[in-house]
Amino acid sequence: MRFPFFSYYCYYYSVVGLIYVLLFFQIPAFPARKISAPVRVLTADAYNATWGNFEKFIDVGKGSRVSGMSELKQYFHRFGYLSPMKAASFDDVFDDSFQSAVMKYQENLGLPVTGKLDSVTIKQIVTPRCGVSDSIASGAGRWFHITKHFAYFYGHPRWVKSKPITLTYAFAEDHLIDYLSLDEIKAVFRRAFSRWEAVIPMNFTEVEHRVADVRIGFFRGDHGDGEPFDGVLGALAHAFSPENGRLHLDAAETWAVDFKSQKSSVAVDLESVATHEIGHVLGLAHSSVKEAIMYPSLSPRTKKVDLRIDDVVGVQALYGSNPNFKLSSLLESDSTSNQPVDSRTGSCRWAVLTATIFLILWS
């Protein structure tokens, strides 16, 4: 009699999984990246002429001098790769410090580390992204890079209440948009909150604005929180770490709840952004996993609303697991989204993935 657990298929996938886990955990175990609040979130500058002009730097390498390189250096400074002390004196020369910045950028974004502005790197640079820095300098120029994919705000802030935690939320009715009804907006946020509610022991309840933990509204330009919006397809939204509770969306954007009815080429999916922003409200910073909700980029006319393993592991590390949540369903969803699971190997792959998640949580 052949026992399925000891089949050739199971042996194969167990070995592959073990190799993956060993390789993964040979990476130096630095803490999850910590980011100071507030966060400017989800910029979509792919349609911004300034970023689009960066395409002219394809294949430029060390030693080159190209007009406009100083603007690209400002980009790298903005996202944490060049020292703030040099921001006022950037020139057009691809020097040693800029090559180091490019390599750090490539490493952080999971790109081939070439030290050149190759086409893959430039494509990433001009892709819509978040306005928060990718790397945070601390002390004498010391860099903290993310090794676990998910990250937190500085100090790991979280909502401290008795369990099960109830967070209240409300909408600033004098800061809405006129082409979406309040009922439509509320329905979007109910779905977004429910996704996080399903995986942690927390409930979200709508209340009056003046007593709410989380306060949601649409604003334009400088709206008094120190994080001014910059117009269409700039910073789409931003949120603040616990227990601040402010969640602001840029009223200049074309927000969509249904792309079938909203035909604009620059329409932004409200539910995708809402789900991401709630992650910030709960204490998560950005993930390096492109499929994760907490990945910083979102292109126009893109819908991305499902939590992935990285999102779940990160938020459960802060709050614990909803007792009704079954990790197996998420593992199966994530694995089958990439390739079909053979009946003889599905249980083995599930075991390998479970072991990997266990090691991530306890490493």
Residues 6+ apart with CB under 8 A from 190: none
145 is in an annotated binding site: no
Structure tokens at 306: 């499902």
Short-list 159, 201, 181, 200, CA closest to 307: 200
231 is in an annotated binding site: yes
Quick count: other Cβ atoms within 10 Å of Cβ 175? 17
253 is in an annotated binding site: yes
Alpha carbons within 13 angstroms on the beta-carbon side of residue 202 total 25
Q: Show the CA angle centred on residue 335, arms to residues 104 and 273, nearest 5°.
A: 60
209 is in an annotated binding site: no
Beta bridge partners, 41, equal 237
Catalytic residue among 197, 227, 271, 277: 277
238 is in an annotated binding site: yes
Q: Show the CA angle centred on residue 34, arms to residues 29 and 24, nearest 5°.
A: 25
118 is in an annotated binding site: no
Residues 6+ apart with CB under 8 A from 26: none
Backbone angles phi, psi at 60, to 5 degrees: -75, 140
DSSP summary character for residue 89 = G
10 is in an annotated binding site: no
227 is in an annotated binding site: no
Classified as helix, coil or strand, 128 is coil
Short-list 319, 266, 313, 320, CA closest to 289: 313
Known active-site residue 277: yes
Residue ranges of the binding site: 130, 213, 223, 225, 230-231, 238, 248, 250, 253, 276, 280, 286, 294
- What residues are labeled active site? 277
Residue ranges of the binding site for Ca(2+): 213, 230-231, 250, 253
Residue ranges of the binding site for Zn(2+): 130, 223, 225, 238, 248, 276, 280, 286, 294
